[in-house]
Structure 1
Amino acid sequence: MPQWIGWFLLLNLTSASMAYLFLYPRRKLIGFHLGMNIAMAAGGGLALGTGVILINLFPLHFIEVTISTALLGIVAGGLFGALFDYQTVLTGYINGLMMGIMSPMVGAAASEGPMFILFIEVFILSCYLLLLTSAYRS
């Protein structure tokens, strides 16, 4: 597996942090429905990308990767959900947990090459872009 794939992990964390900093001042202007979608997309997307990358970088550490991606998804979903209300916190928390548990399995099943990881990264980054565009227009 190419070592440059590990840089995508930094890209995921940076894009999630920038999205959070962009949304924080606008949190009172965003409705609850969009807030729930933001929490689900942010927590689930970060957990999905992290799980696929880490299981491809450390293929023999399935338990550690699963626990770390589940915790990262829980934290990210909870933080993005906390921008809005308690129901959104719970939704982000559960979605981050589920994606964190499932993403190492998806990454292990699709470990044939970097093309799948590139597809996942394009998908996640486009979700963040759509998320920020929706929040800006609301």
Structure 2
Amino acid sequence: MTLYFACLLIVNIVIGLIMYRILFKKRRLFNDRFGMIMSMSISGILSLTIAMILQFLYADQIFMMMALTVLIGGGIGVLFGSLVKFQSLLAGFLNGIIGSLMGNMLAAVVKDPALCSLPASYLISLEENMVAFSLFGTLLVIMTISLVNYSLRV
């Protein structure tokens, strides 16, 4: 199970780095509006998925992982937001932080459904839920990156 989450984490990081490289090469082609939308969407969904997978991977240190994922999410937002102007940097930074906090909360609810008063029967399929949510998050990252990449060509 740990190997599965580590592989998904590496896949998400590689997807983010490849997209950053593509956008860095084409950063002169898009305007402020596209830069803002791009930094908000990519930093939000990428930081959500990375934070969720890191919480699944390191379930013991909740506070340290939450602080680390908030820093990672803010870094992702700054990285993608710095491609255009300061306003997109700020939007990317804030969406990266919000995405990582949402990923932490989602992982906490998946690991302990009693936080949201869900029935105890969900605890039986805990590993299935963790696998399903992490795979769904990775698919969302792939779809978001694909849409941003497609919008560069249109």
Please give the range of the TM-score, normalised by the shorter of the 2 chains.
over 0.9
- Local SS of the residue matching 2:17: helix
Is residue 134 from structure 1 mapped to residue 151 from structure 2 by the alignment? yes
- Once the two structures are overlaid, the 10-residue window that deviates more, 99-108 or 85-94, is 99-108
Larger RCO (CA within 8 A; separation ≥ 6): 1
- Once the two structures are overlaid, the 10-residue window that deviates more, 31-40 or 90-99, is 31-40
- Once the two structures are overlaid, the 10-residue window that deviates more, 4-13 or 85-94, is 4-13
- Local SS of the residue matching 1:118: helix
Structure 2: stretches of 5+ with no match in the other structure: 112-125
Runs of 4+ in 1 over 4 A off after TM superposition: none
What's the counterpart of residue 90 of structure 2?
90
TM-score relative to the length of structure 1 = 0.92
Aligned 1:30-69 pairs, distance under 5 A: 30-69=30-69
1: CA distance between counterparts of 2:2 and 2:58?
Answer: 12
| Equivalent pairs, count | 137
Is residue 72 from structure 1 mapped to residue 72 from structure 2 by the alignment? yes
1:107 to partner: Cα distance: 1.1
Structure 1: stretches of 5+ with no match in the other structure: none
Choose 1 or 2 for highest CA Rg. Answer: 2
Letter paired with 2:96: G
Aligned 1:4-19 pairs, distance under 5 A: 4-19=4-19
2: CA distance between counterparts of 1:26 and 1:14?
Answer: 19
TM-score relative to the length of structure 2 = 0.83
- Local SS of the residue matching 1:27: coil
Letter paired with 1:110: V
2: CA distance between counterparts of 1:101 and 1:117?
Answer: 15
2: CA distance between counterparts of 1:32 and 1:103?
Answer: 28
